[in-house]
Amino acid sequence: MSDDTTPNPKSEPFSNAEKDTDDWTTGDEPMTGAQASYLKTLSEEAGEPFEETLNKADASKRIDALQEKTGRGK
C-alpha cells in the first residue's frame, strides 16, 4: 500500500532541483572549467569583460545575467 501523503519525486522533479546559489556549499570554490568556458563565450557575445576570478556561485549568477542579455540558454 502506498502512502499518498508523500510526494513522488518523479512527479515533481523540479521541486528541489535548483538551490539558490547563495546556499551552495561549494559556491565559494573557483568556477569550474565548463563555467569558465561558457562564461567566456557569453561575455564575448555580450561585449562584456570576462571575469576569470569568479567563484562557482558568482559565475552562475553572471551566466544567468549574460544569458538574459544575449538571449541564450532560454
10-37 confidence digits (pLDDT tens): 555 444 456 777 777 777 899 999 999 9
CB atoms near residue 16 (< 10 Å): 8
- Give the percent of the chain with pLDDT over 90: 57
Those residues with Cβ within 8 angstroms of residue 54's Cβ, 6 or more apart along the chain or in another chain: 31, 39, 62
Indicate the domain borders of the chain. 29-70
Q: Which residue has the cell 567566456?
A: 40
Using CA atoms, how far apart are residues 27 and 72, in angstroms rounded to an integer?
A: 23
- Check: pTM over 0.85? Answer yes or no: no
Q: Which pLDDT value is given to residue 16?
A: 46
